[in-house]
């Protein structure tokens, strides 16, 4: 079966600084893939190049067999995207924003059910500007799921959420995964990565320093705790120095 997401030899530089250096990614349908790395490692740039919103210098990308630069319309009927920062009109209500999003697609999920799953039913008539940071974050995940996507990209999906909200989001995403959703996420929380990801890639200054399962990452390092393992791959200094 074709990979849901296939990235070959992706390269991107800003001026003479290489931000992505020959990155190769393959995500199967129904898998949860985590792209990890320190601030500035190149994760957001990779997502933007994969989605075709930023032009890579080199490389080939296919999502559900489609070229994101050429098949934009068809692709975005099947792909949901939640970015780190999303902007919308100041006074728009949660229900209005969901309805506006729904109008853009043919086949959509029931947004009221999604708001319920993500703990936002009571906020349906609130202005988006009156939501807390964590509530907004959950709303943007809901918006990414409205197109009933086969693949969803979630950039730092639980940054700003409290402990209970994070757990609730994990549960919702696990349920969606069981229904066959392919998830591409970035995260700085290793407990989250362990709870959700089937496969990971660790980027260090644009280079993939590890690609595989969490179990393989642990086995190929001197550490047992996944956060130590991650730091060992991702950072200049050793994990010991961070304890
Ligand atoms: N438009 C741009 N012009 C020049 N440099 C850029 C641009 N966008 C990003 N960069 C640089 O590219 C590098 C990678 O940035 P990117 O946002 O992809 O990192 P990231 O891994 O997503 O970081 P974070 O975890 O902080 O979100 C950084 O050094 C950043 O300063």
**High-pLDDT (> 70) share of the chain, %:** 94
**What does each C-alpha distance from 241 to 90, 205, 232, 235 come to in angstroms?**
45, 20, 10, 11
* pLDDT, average across residues 122-146: 91
Closest Cα to residue 60, out of 70, 162, 202?
70
**Domains annotated on the chain, with CATH:** 5-78+150-242 (3.40.50.300), 85-149 (no CATH)
- C-alpha span between 22 and 9 (Å, rounded): 4
- Taking alpha carbons only, the member of 59, 90, 87, 64 closest to residue 77 is 64
Distance between CA atoms of 187 and 169, rounded to whole angstroms?
13
Residue showing tokens 């099947």: 78
User: Which of 12, 19, 84, 203 most suits a substitution to test ligand 1, by most atoms within 8 Å of the C-beta?
Assistant: 19
pLDDT tens sequence across 169-219: 888 889 889 989 999 999 999 999 999 999 999 999 999 999 999 999 999
Q: State the residue for tokens 């994101």.
A: 68
- Largest Cα–Cα separation, the chain: 53
CA of 169 to the centre of ligand 1 (A): 26
Q: Categorize the per-residue pLDDT at 159 as very low, low, confident or very high, splitting at 50, 70 and 90.
A: confident
Token pair of 44 as six digits:
């957001």
Task: Please report the atom of ligand 1 found closest to the CA of residue 45.
Answer: 18
Nearest to 118, CA basis, from 66, 71, 72, 176 = 176
Enter the pTM of the model: 0.91
Q: Find the residues whose C-beta lies inside 6 A of ligand 1.
A: 14, 19, 37, 39-45
Which of 44, 84, 187, 206, when mutated, tests ligand 1's pocket best, judged by the most ligand atoms within 8 Å of its CB?
44
């Amino acid at each position: 079966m074709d990979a849901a997401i296939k990235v070959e030899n992706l390269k991107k530089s800003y001026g003479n600084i290489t931000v992505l250096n020959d990155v190769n990614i393959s995500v199967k349908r129904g898998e949860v893939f985590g792209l990890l790395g320190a601030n500035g490692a190149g994760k957001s740039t990779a997502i933007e190049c994969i989605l075709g919103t930023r032009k890579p210098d080199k490389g080939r990308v296919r999502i559900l067999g489609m070229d994101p630069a050429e098949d934009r319309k068809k692709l975005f009927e099947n792909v949901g995207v939640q970015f780190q920062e999303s902007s919308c009109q100041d006074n728009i209500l949660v229900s209005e924003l969901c309805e506006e999003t729904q109008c853009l697609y043919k086949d959509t999920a029931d947004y009221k059910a999604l708001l319920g799953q993500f703990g936002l039913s009571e906020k349906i008539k609130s202005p988006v500007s009156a939501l807390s940071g964590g509530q907004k974050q959950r709303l943007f995940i809901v918006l990414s799921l409205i197109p009933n996507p086969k693949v969803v990209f979630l950039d730092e999906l639980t940054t700003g959420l409290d402990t209970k909200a994070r757990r609730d989001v994990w549960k919702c995403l696990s349920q969606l995964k069981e229904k066959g959703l392919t998830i591409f996420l970035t995260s700085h929380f290793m407990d989250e990565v362990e709870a959700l990801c089937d496969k990971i890639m660790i980027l260090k200054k644009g280079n993939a320093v590890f690609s595989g399962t969490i179990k393989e990452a642990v086995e190929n390092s001197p550490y047992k705790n996944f956060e130590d393992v991650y730091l060992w791959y991702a950072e200049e200094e050793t994990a010991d120095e961070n304890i």
